[in-house]
Structure 1
Amino acid sequence: MEGRKSILKMDQNFRQRMNKNIQESYANDFIDESTWTVSDQLNSFNNIQSTIKHFQKKYEFLKSSNDLDNDFMNDTNPFLFVVNNGLISVNNRNKMLKDFKTIVPNVEFRQLISTYANQKFLRQSYLQLISEHPEIDQYQIKHSRNIYKINFLDDGSVKLVATNLSDLDVKNDNYIQKYKSFGIRATIILPPNASPIMKYSYFMK
């Protein structure tokens, strides 16, 4: 009996190590050391203002319930969520939502994060990139993946950094391929008693 328990424990430890290795290998695909350029504030001002207004309206609507935004943890691209430097293990959506609720017990904080940490928020970053670099439209986007990093700051603010990394391929063989990948990022700080502060950044290489 003791031998069987020992084997089961060894098997469990092996599975845990394997799961950890798989998670780490998966997470490595979301790391990029490129130099990011902050979008010109004058060019991005209207986009930022309309985005904040739209998503704050969505958040106010959510506050009348206990629900999270339907787009939260529902990306069509592979994605990662990191809260206070802790990775939410990649799993099915229900399990990830359960882990998220454990990490963030406050309902209003959960609703606020769910409003912004989704593909629709990242979409605005892409539109900003297109407005500044229309040549990106000559490429086919592939291998897209999203990363959402959330941190609770000492002053009660929530900082959210939403990032998309993608590879590029030319649509037309006659077009000279200048770029092989790009990244877009929206960083927003949501203070408890003030208007959100937001910026866009990107890289192309």
Structure 2
Amino acid sequence: MKHLLIALRVTLVFTLITGAAYPLIVTGLAKGLFRHQADGSLIQAGGHTVGSEWIGQNFTKPGYFHGRPSAAGNDGYDGLSSGGSNLGPTNQKLADRTAADIRKFRAENPTFTGSVPPDAVTASGSGLDPHISPETAEAQVARVAGARGMSQEAVRQLVAANTAGRQFGFLGEARVNVLQLNLALDQAAPGRR
């Protein structure tokens, strides 16, 4: 009986430490030191929350930059079904989907004649990547500028202003947050979308 009481006390103590105290301390520190990130890195516009810096959205209008394809959920961009398609490089479904995405990208951006950037037609591992490469943004500049009635140079300046470099100068690649870029477009040309 003595051993059972000791085991119960130890279980109770560790439950309180790991199940209550530790999460409260970590959450408190996160809220105190990194409030924006701890609250989901939410982006506000016009007094409303319009998204998160870290969750991609499906933009389809010609006056907006389009993000990467999404394999999250049945229709894509489903935060509850985050994940890739799990289709391998030799899978015919993946080849067909990529070919269809290339045709769609070319149809949406008819003046673009270069090679289609890979991230324009491939989903990320999470299916919710909020970023595109600067090359993918450049491929869409003419379409967005035309739809917005803006000069291509003005749109390029917005792309440049919303391009983040490599993290710490050497990790990853340069990237453009699609939501932030599209919000900047809305501010620059509010009546045209």
Q: Shorter-normalised TM-score: what interval?
A: 0.3 to 0.5
The structure with the largest strand share of the pair is 1
- Considering fraction of residues, name the structure with more helix: 2
TM-score, L = length of structure 1? 0.32
- Please say which structure displays the higher CA radius of gyration: 2
